[in-house]
Amino acid sequence: MEKVRIGVIGVCGRGGIADQWRDNPRCEVVAGADVRPEALDDFRQRMGPDVFVTLDYQELLERPDVDAVAVTSPDFVHEEHAVAALEAGKHVFCEKPLAITVEGCDRILKAWRQSGKRLMVGFNMRYMNMYRVMKEIVESGAIGEIKAVWVRHFVGHGGRFYYHDWHATRKNCNSLLLQKGSHDIDIIHWITGRYTQRVCAFGGLDYFGGDKPDDLVCSACDIRRTCIEAEHGRREQCAFRREVDIEDNVVMIMELEGGIKASYLQCHFTPDYHRNYTFIGTEGRLENSEPEMKIWVKTRRSNTWRELADRTYEVKRASGTHAGADPVICQDFVDMVLEGKEPLATPEAGRMSVAAGCAGEESMRGGGRPVDVLPLPPL
């Protein structure tokens, strides 16, 4: 195979990542499936008049000219679409979270192992310059052996991103510890090199939700001119409607393999957008600032030359969506299919991020009791 032919299930929203493959000479986007005709019209305009489009994703999977499938549909159908694609003999790129239950993830892993095809997860943060530099610093030994991790995720525009559409209900995404937190949990796992074993979590719906009708949309609301959460366009369901039941303020403490302690805060009504990571090791501390594109390393006594200086890293900005990660992760997928390259974002990593998030959800909704994370199933 000299060129991989890709079909996309879920062509709008995150399906916009297909633009990266459209412009790659080593692949071709040949098909797209979605439940919305208008989304398919837009997809055809972006990909060209010859692209095959369908409202039935099974028709896409039946096509012999589709070698690989990008599952960029909503979270609650990732399991269905990924399993069907693997069983149809397609290589799969599955957007995070891998599924919304541990059982769903394990079903995907089983289908993957039985298919003989390749599977990678859309953890684009592993491809961002910021976190690659942090990973390199840790692996250099600059802060010694990691013992503690703190992560604060301030989700400015949380209402716009998650509370005006399907994300706002448990039946569709389980918890934002999966939808949003899967990135952060994965980065904790990736940089420490350890998976979470046990968690305790507390959370609440402290700002969004309320008593507004479930069918209320911002464009038809009497207070749309004064409501600070009013939105316009496709995502305009009222963020204060009755059906909203996804926590918007969560804190989770985690015990990782090797006894590493971690804490994670996620809040969706902060005024700014910022991810702040701190890794503390036996010889120093590593901390980042996304807005400033800086990483700081503070060292303590180690009887090595490393203790002689603290360091500030100026991380270079990259072009492309998601801080330049999307072009790189899409190239990695093509390399995986054409050359057998091992993906940086593995299926096992996708499963363990979901497993930790699901354990957090269970603890949070069970009074904050400790919950063990389900380990990877045997091969």
In a domain, 165, yes or no: yes
What are the pLDDT digits (tens) for 198-228? 999 999 999 999 999 999 999 999 999 999 9
Dihedral class, residue 293 (left if φ above 0, else alpha if ψ from -120 to 50, else beta): left
Last residue of a domain, one of 122, 154, 175: 122
In this structure, the answer to whether residues 284 and 298 fall within a common structural domain is yes
**Phi and psi dihedrals of 316, rounded to 5?**
-75, 140
The CA distance from 49 to 55, in Å, is 17
Whether residue 161 is found in the same domain as residue 112: no
Number of CB atoms found within 10 A of residue 52's CB = 17
Q: Of 99, 122, 145, which one is at a domain's C-terminal end? A: 122
Provide the whole-model pTM. Answer: 0.96
- Is 346 part of any domain? no
Per-10-residue mean pLDDT for the chain, 379 residues long? 94 94 95 97 96 98 98 97 98 98 98 98 97 98 97 93 96 94 97 98 97 96 95 91 97 98 97 96 97 97 93 96 95 97 96 98 97 94
- Cα 276 to Cα 66: distance, rounded to the nearest angstrom: 40
C-alpha span between 247 and 209 (Å, rounded) = 9
**Amino acid, res. 364:** M
Residues 284, 198: contact at Cβ < 8 Å? no
CATH code for position 295: 3.30.360.10
Q: Which of 370, 372, 346 shows the shortest CA–CA distance to 118?
A: 346
Residue 232 confidence (pLDDT): 87
Residue at token pair 């200086």 = 309
To which residue do tokens 């968690």 refer?
199
What span, in angstroms and rounded, lies between the C-alpha atoms of 248 and 236?
18
Which pLDDT score is estimated for 133? Answer: 98
Please state whether beta strands 249-256 and 68-71 pair in parallel, antiparallel, or not at all (unpaired).
unpaired
Please report the pLDDT score of residue 1 as a whole number: 76
**Domain boundary at 87, 122, 157, which?**
122
* pLDDT for position 23: 87
User: Residue 336 is encoded by which pair of tokens?
Assistant: 């995986």
Separation between Cα atoms, residue 373 and residue 358, nearest integer Å: 8
pLDDT value of position 92: 98
Q: Structural domain of residue 368, as residue ranges?
A: 126-208+244-325+352-372
| Same domain, residue pair 204 and 292 | yes
Task: Judge if 366 and 273 occupy the same domain.
Answer: yes
- How far is 62 from 106, CA to CA, in rounded Å? 24
- The count of structural domains within the chain is 2
Both tokens of 45, joined, read 């305009």
Distances (CA, A) of 215 to 224, 242, 243: 15, 10, 10
